[in-house]
A and B are shown apart, each in its own frame.
Chain A
Amino acid sequence: MLAFILRRSAEMLVALILMSMIVFALGRVTGDPVALLLNEYATEQDRAEITRQLGLDKPLVTQYTIFIGQALQGDLGTSVSGDRRSAVELVMERLPASLQLAAAALAISVIIGIPLGVFAAVKRGTWVDIGARIGALLGQSVPVFWLGIVLMYFFSVTLGWLPTSGYGEWRHIVLPALSMGLFTVAAIARLVRVSMIDALSSEYIKLARIKGLSETAVVWKHALRNSLLPVLTYMGAFFATMITGAVVIETVFAWPGIGRLAYESILNRDFPVMQAVVLTMTLLFMLANLCVDIAYAGLDPRIRH
């Protein structure tokens, strides 16, 4: 198990270095970060001065080494726009809001998705099943940002139940989390349904029934436990969805998270902040996937080899 974790961590490190190179290279080959810092009265001398200050006059490889060296010390530069704050500080300030949103979306997906899949499988072929399948199909076909706008229009503007945007109270998180979670509710419900149908027709379930276990115990304990592995596999895709969702949903609901920060910094060509956000998101994404892999290897010994 330890060897497995070490190997996966090493792979993660390589991927992270690669990502840092891509981000670094993209940031350098396009656009001119110096131009953003100069005002209209700047002379060629000012330009050379700032270029030197930012280290942009050195060869790319040297620039990259300096960048990595500072990154390892937790320094990813300062924002080029406005008040020139530390990029890492900006990301850390925005991170909790995004984590809250992702956690809420995850909770919604699991709490609604799993029972929905189980009911659909148990009541296979009935209107419950058909309804759940149609719902899941629709849920996977709606663009999340549009769903966010529609929910906002309906619940905030028309009914006035929930605020359109903002951050702080529980009421603020409901709509963004719902918009982000619906797609994954649908995906999880579908996966659980398929694997529950398989599980319910297997030998050990027959045995459990013959032993005289209650139907509740058979379904929710024996069958469900074995049907959850595919859900765990899906988690990798779930985190990818969360990152996309974070960018669009945080933009729609003005949610102060790193998704919106990513979008803003990319639009403003704020390279240090952009690098910090992209690397943080990549790291989180990989850590989350690593946890899933470890949990999976723990549950299914075949994976470890």
Chain B
Amino acid sequence: MKALLRQPAFAIALSVGVVLTILAIFAPWVAPHNPMEGDLLERLMPPAWQDGGSWQHALGTDVLGRDILSRLIHGARVSLAVCAFAIVLAGGIGSLLGIIAGYFGGLVDSLIMRVVDLAISLPMILLALLFGVLFGPSFINIVIVISLVLWSQFARMARGETLKVRANDYIDLARSAGASSFHIMMHHVLPNVAGSLIVLATLQVGTVIIMEASLSFLGVGVPPPLPAWGSMIAEGRSYVVSAWWLCIFPGLAVMLTVLAANILGDTLTDELNPALREGRR
């Protein structure tokens, strides 16, 4: 970890990640204004450093006079929460299925992996969009939709890693000592495959944030008035000529977050598992 921190890119990315997480968790206390209430008399105010701007609203206000900075901070909360839940859900289910497939092999393995192949061969974004529209935008739905897209990669990786672990003598020893399959999977396989799965999860953070932003942009993300970066970009789109800050700041927020996540993921990959890089999409 110390060696990692000596890489400036990693250290900066980690700090960005930590700051964002803190901002997201403490959003209601950190944000200067209520992100959902605006003053129509103060609508479309430019950022503070431009003519007509004020430090009251450092990054300006939107069409309804809501403070952009506060909406961005609360947006971080939405993005990171969707990300955390989706990765835990998809990672949990995918890894479990992958470990089961790799551990038992045979029919169970072929069955699970066929489903994984199918999931990978379908353009999941269309299903996600369909699902989002049909079941209505809500926090839980967007988490489910994103998990549907993600789980197959975790299953694939968990299976591959389990196959490697399974070849070890200690697995046979545990079995001859009378340990149940469940016990072996939980206590001997999982700890040994967890490292690779965590790296994969880090690599997915950027993908999930962009996916969440895209779905919010298309109007099937977290429902308004909750601020999400994607829907802020969509709202600001028609004002890009007269009020560029509506659209530019949330985009920069997405970019910064994804950049930090990608740098962290790449560095961890190189450090812990160089072979993984080949399979990176």
Interface residues of A, Cβ cutoff 8 Å to B: 11-12, 14-15, 18-19, 22-23, 26, 30-31, 137-138, 140-146, 149-150, 152-153, 157, 187, 194, 230, 234, 237, 240, 243-244, 247-248, 251-252, 262-263, 266-267, 269, 274, 278, 281-282, 285-286, 289
Contact = CB atoms under 8 A, between A and B. Distances in A.
A140 B281 contact: no
A162 B136 CA distance: 37
Interface in B70-102: none
Contacts of A267: 133, 219
Main secondary structure on A side of the interface with B: helix
A141 B118 contact: no
B180 to A, nearest CB: 34
A240 B258 CA distance: 19
A142 B134 contact: no
A153 B129 CA distance: 27
B60 to A, nearest CB: 16
A48 B262 CA distance: 55
Contacts of A144: 214
Interface in B244-272: 244, 247-248, 250-251, 254-255, 258-259, 262-263, 266
A19 B122 contact: yes
B121 A274 contact: no
A26 B130 contact: yes
A141 B258 contact: yes
B214 A248 contact: yes
B206 interface: yes
A244 B214 contact: yes
A17 B281 CA distance: 27
27 contacts: A11-B117, A11-B121, A15-B121, A18-B118, A31-B134, A137-B262, A137-B266, A138-B255, A141-B206, A143-B210, A143-B214, A143-B233, A143-B255, A144-B214, A146-B213, A146-B233, A146-B255, A152-B240, A153-B240, A194-B278, A230-B278, A240-B124, A244-B125, A247-B126, A247-B129, A263-B129, A267-B133
Interface in B206-250: 206, 210, 213-214, 217-219, 230, 233, 237, 240-241, 244, 247-248, 250
Contacts of B106: none
Nearest to B219: A267
A240 B124 CA distance: 8
A146 B252 CA distance: 9
Contact of A278 (B126, B254, B266, B277): B126
B127 A234 contact: no
B240 A247 contact: no
Contact of A243 (B118, B125, B206, B217): B125
B135 interface: yes
Given A143-B210, A243-B126, A248-B218, A149 B233 contact: yes
Nearest to A230: B278
A150 B247 CA distance: 9
Q: Can you list the 3 inter-chain pairs with the closest CB atoms, starting with the nearest?
A: A146-B251, A141-B259, A237-B281
Which of A141, A243, A247, A281 has the most chain B CB within a 10 Å cutoff?
A141
Given A141-B258, A251-B218, A278-B126, A149 B206 contact: no
Given A237-B281, A281-B123, A262 B131 contact: no
B251 A143 contact: yes
Contact of B247 (A149, A243, A262): A149
Nearest to B257: A141
A263 B247 CA distance: 21
Given A143-B214, A285-B123, A286-B121, A278 B248 contact: no
A194 B274 CA distance: 11
Contacts of B131: 26
A141 B255 contact: yes
Interface in B177-215: 206, 210, 213-214
B214 A22 contact: no
Interface string B2-29: 0000000000000000000000000000
